[in-house]
Amino acid sequence: MIETIIALATPAGESALAVIRISGPLSHIIAKEACDCTNPTPRKTYLVDYQSSDGETLDQVVITLFNKGKSYTGEDSLEISCHGNPLIIELISKDLMNRGCRIAQPGEFTKQAFLNGKIDLPQAESVAQIIAAKNEQSLALAQRNLKGKLSNKLLSIQKDILGLQASIEAHIDFPEDDLIKEDHNKYQQNVKTIIKELETLLLQANRTKLLAKNIRVVLAGLPNVGKSSLFNALAGKNRALIHSDAGTTRDYLEFDIKIGKYWITLVDTAGVHNASEEIELAGIEMSLEQAEEADLFLWVIDNSVPHPSELPKDFTKLIQSKPTLLIRNKSDLGENDWIPNYKKTPKAINISSTEKSGLKQFERLLLELIQEITGVDAENEYLVSVRHELLIKNCLDELNHFLQKSKEKVGEEITSLHLSEAREKLDMMIGRKTNEDMLDILFGEFCIGK
């Protein structure tokens, strides 16, 4: 039985097109069931809708089928060109796995090609070197991430899962020993904690997507503090309507600018205050939505007013949880230099958008902040490849199964199976742990010996 393996053939990140390569016996079935393309002519392209097993159309894609013996790997193969959006790639990959495919090991395609005689025998050496190199690349990525805490985090999660398994296995294999009573709630609590940590990691993984996608910088502030003037100063022209009446910007405005090497989407929102007019209320609601999607806040206040009142609660919360730059606008009209009394004091800067003073320094600060959120060496750190991200998601799925099966009160041999599978996914990224490692923990923690 040959497994069907998949891999992304184009670089990770945003691009116009991405190619997902499938190799193995499921190729025909996927063409038929996911792409509604029965018995396609090999090597011919078809424009089709890719439908997930839940019946949802994920993307319009171009597929090409290669028959066994006539493909790169020598197996039945299918190439799917989809739009180069990381989300689409992820959804399609995930669906392919639901249909029984497996993520390829580094160099596995080349290996299949060799084993099927697609690459000459004398070339064995170069094939082996390719695999060794790809594996090294993948390890190097993990190594780099080690500094970026990713691998450390995964290693500690792997250890936590081993520990959980040790406890469950101790109770399965030594039923007559005098062990501490099993606390199933605690198991579930521990798994929930692990899930949270993995979700945080995924969020970090999403941060790396900032490299591919624009960074959303949202201007927030009370009405009439000069958000729109700042927006226009940055955008370079009078895009937003500026008016001295409070509450002029009722909708929101977007503009893409480039600061340093980063593309930024600048978002101007309606000023937030305890508005009474319905249309304004709607605008404020929309501002809140925008704020939630922000990668970074520019909190604009009026520096000519002695004690600027703070933003409504929802905003204050958001501002404290995301990177924020406090901009004291209208510095030409007064120097109150107010600082909010938060746990983490945001960086602050005085500018005057009408006199265009302080804008250079503002750009520098903004750039610093962006580098902070995308990582110091953004290209290396936190860079979780699509493969890693999918593996983490697989791992999460297994852990969620664990929780569900625990609730259903099926036997521990089942819940433990899901833990094993979850661990296996981590093993694929950071190195294998064996049953011996689990037993070491087991005998270290439990007094066995009836």
Partner 1 sequence: MTLRVNTPSKPYDVIVCGAGHAGCEAAIAASKQGADVLLLTGNLDTIAQMSCNPAIGGQGKGQIVREIDALGGEMALNADFTAIQFKLLNTSKGKAVQAPRAQCDKKAYQLRMKHVLEQQPNLTLFQSMVDGLIVQKSSCKGVTSSMGLHFYGKTVIVTTGTFLQASTHIGQSKSEGGRLGDHSAKGLSAHFIKHGIELRRFKTGTPPRLLGNSINFDGLDEQSGDKNPSKFAFYDSRSDSEMFHVEQNRRWAIKNNQVLGSNLVKCFLTSTTETTHKHINENLHLSPLYKGDIVGTGPRYCPSIEDKVVRFSNKDSHRIHLEPEGVNTDEWYINGLSTCLPFEIQQKVLKSIPGLENAKIIRPAYAVEYDYAPPTQLNKCLESLLIKSLFFAGQINGTSGYEEAAAQGLIAGINASRSALGLDSLSIYRNEGYIGVLIDDLTTKGVTEPYRMFTSRAEHRLLFNHGSAEHRFLLKSQAYNLHSRSRRENIRNQLQTTDTWIKTLETTKAESGITYAHQIKSVSELEILFPESFHQLPRSVQDEVIYRITYDGYLKREIAAAKRIKNAENLEIPPSFSYNSLPGLRTECMEKLNQLKPSTLGQASRISGVNPADISIIHIYLERFTKLQKDEGD
* 1 touches partner 1 by CB under 8 A: yes
**Shortest Cβ 107–partner 1 spacing (Å):** 6
- Options 274, 309, 341, 434; binder of partner 1; rule CB under 8 A: 434
Torsion, Cα 13 14 16 19, to 10 degrees, reads 30
Should residue 183 be labelled a site residue for partner 1 when binding is judged by CB under 8 A? Answer: no
Joined tokens for residue 416: 């433990």
Question: Closer CB to partner 1, residue 49 or residue 178?
Answer: 178
**Contact by Cβ (8 Å): 93, 52:** no
449 lies in the site for partner 1, by CB under 8 A: yes
Q: Are the C-beta atoms of 50 and 35 separated by less than 8 Å? A: yes
In which residue are the tokens 């009474």 written? Answer: 276
Q: Cα 371 from chain centroid?
A: 17
Instruction: Give yes or no for residue 178 binding partner 1 (CB under 8 A).
Output: yes
Q: Which of 126, 157, 160, 208 is nearest to 429 (CA)?
A: 157
Give 61 or 166: the residue with its C-beta nearer to partner 1. Answer: 166
Pairwise CA distance, residues 277 & 282, whole Å: 9
Stretch that binds partner 1, among 44-52, 167-175, 286-294, 368-376 (CB under 8 A): 167-175
Smallest distance, partner 1 to C-beta of residue 141, A: 14
* Residue 158 CB, nearest approach to partner 1 (Å): 15
Report the site for partner 1 in 132-161 (rule: CB under 8 A): 132-135
Contacting range for partner 1; rule: CB under 8 A; set: 24-32, 37-45, 117-125, 296-304? 117-125
| Three-state DSSP state, 446 | coil
Binding-residue pattern over the window 13 to 32 for partner 1, x denoting contact by CB under 8 A: --------------------
Please return the burial class of 169, using the count of CB atoms within 10 Å of its CB with bins 0-12, 13-18 and 19+.
buried
**Contact flag: residue 129 with partner 1 (CB under 8 A):** yes
Q: State the minimum distance, in angstroms, from the CB of residue 155 to partner 1.
A: 15
Interface stretch with partner 1, choices 165-173, 243-251, 286-294, 298-306 (CB under 8 A): 165-173
Nearest Cα to 391, choosing from 208, 212, 158? 158
The answer to whether 294 and 216 are in contact (CB under 8 A) is yes
How far apart, in Å, are the Cα atoms of 376 and each of 95, 344, 379?
34, 20, 9
- Three-state SS for 229-253 is HHHHHHHCCCCCCCCCCCCCCCCCE
Which residue in the set 16, 121, 236, 307 belongs to the binding site for partner 1 (CB under 8 A)? 121
Q: Tally the C-alpha atoms within 13 A of residue 432's C-alpha that lie toward its C-beta.
A: 3
**Structure tokens given for 159:** 């250890």
Output 105 or 357, the one with its CB closest to partner 1.
Answer: 105
Selected from 88, 172, 257, 281, the binder of partner 1 by CB under 8 A is 172
Instruction: Please list the residues that pair with 230 across neighbouring strands.
Output: none
Alpha carbon distances (Å) from 293 to 91, 266, 353? 21, 12, 25
398 lies in the site for partner 1, by CB under 8 A: no
SS3 197: helix
What is the nearest approach in angstroms of partner 1 to the Cβ of residue 416?
8
Restricting to residues 405-424, name those near partner 1 by CB under 8 A: 410-414, 417
Q: How far apart are CA 279 and CA 250, in angstroms?
A: 7
- Should residue 438 be labelled a site residue for partner 1 when binding is judged by CB under 8 A? yes
Out of 124, 140, 279, 339, the residue judged to bind partner 1 by CB under 8 A: 124
Based on CB atoms, which residue is closest to partner 1, 179 or 373? 179
Instruction: Indicate which single residue of 46, 174, 255, 263 sits in contact with partner 1 (rule: CB under 8 A).
Output: 174
Note the residues at the interface with partner 1 (CB under 8 A).
1, 3, 105-108, 111, 114-115, 121, 124-125, 127-129, 131-135, 165, 169, 171-178, 410-414, 417, 428, 431-432, 434-436, 438-439, 443, 447-450
